[in-house]
Amino acid sequence: MALLTVTDLRGGYAAADEIVKGATLHVDSGDIVALIGPNGAGKSTLLKLIAGLLRPRAGQVRLFDREIAGFDASAISRLGLAFVPQERNVFGSMTVAENLEMGGFLDGRHMRDRRDELYERFPLLAEKRRAAARTLSGGQRQILAMAIALMNAPKLLLLDEPTAGLSPQAAEDLFDTIVELNRTGVSILMVEQNALEALVVSTRAYVLVQGRAEREGSAADLASDPTVRDLFLGAKAQPMLAGKSGGQT
């Protein structure tokens, strides 16, 4: 079942410059979909258009069979789509507990229940609950940002370069977290610069070039597509993906 269907979406930051030029994609229930592509292809802009932070100029965005293009970001968030921005995605001067409180429009008791659930899922956050968010490390901050989004119990999580600026180890841990999250029933659409690693954990992927989804397919198909490989992945892609699909290491 398609959770999210985006059809011929167009838009950008200002009326004059269209960055996303007719993007079409869909996310099914249970998917981890990676959006990869060169710098400036409009990946982050596309996420912001879907999440309602930017107003689409044309095209459709359907979430659970409901047209949401042009909705306010907070309204979209209430419908079950949560967006985690790339960099400034937590409230630095607030404690971890207060940050979690910001996600969620639940009343006090339900909010605390939900927060406790997330503490259980991410023990790190429970440990740091009284620490100011600005004191967290990059990887911890990303976990907190995702947890804020999860407060609303979304069905679909949009992640904008979750591993940007993280060490390779922290990035790998974060990808593990994303996969675990997906197993609990949250579908994921993520933009990633680490295209190779993103393809390893994804079920499907889109290659976005100049504002359009140029190629679509299963992660393995895209990784073996010679054009894609040369453009975005580099030579080391082949053995790693072969390792994934063939079960060898």
Residue ranges in contact with other proteins by CB under 8 A: 51, 53, 72-75, 77-78, 82-85, 88-95, 98, 101-105, 108, 126-132, 135, 148-149, 151-152
**Minimum CB separation from other proteins for residue 128, in Å?**
8
Residue 49: closest CA among 2, 83, 87: 83
Q: Which is nearer to other proteins, 101 or 192 (CB)?
A: 101
Residue 67 or residue 120: which is nearer to other proteins going by CB? Answer: 120
Judge contact between 44 and 18, C-beta under 8 A: no
For residues 225 and 193, the answer to whether their CB atoms sit within 8 Å is no
Choose between 64 and 91: whose C-beta lies nearer to other proteins.
Answer: 91
Residue 230: how many CB atoms within 10 A of its CB? 11
Provide the minimum distance between the beta carbon of 236 and other proteins in the complex, in angstroms, as a whole number.
Answer: 34
Which residues 6+ apart lie within 8 Å of 45 measured at CB? 11, 12, 13, 19, 20, 54
Smallest distance, Å, CB 82 to other proteins?
Answer: 7
The nearest distance, CB 132 to other proteins, in angstroms, is 5
Task: Kindly tell me which of 39 and 74 has the beta carbon lying closer to other proteins.
Answer: 74
Residue 26, strand partner residues: 5
Count Cα atoms within 13 angstroms, Cβ side, for 152: 23
Cβ-based nearer residue to other proteins, 47 or 166: 47
Question: What radius of gyration, in Å, describes the C-alpha atoms of the chain?
Answer: 18
Least separation in angstroms between residue 171's CB and other proteins is 22
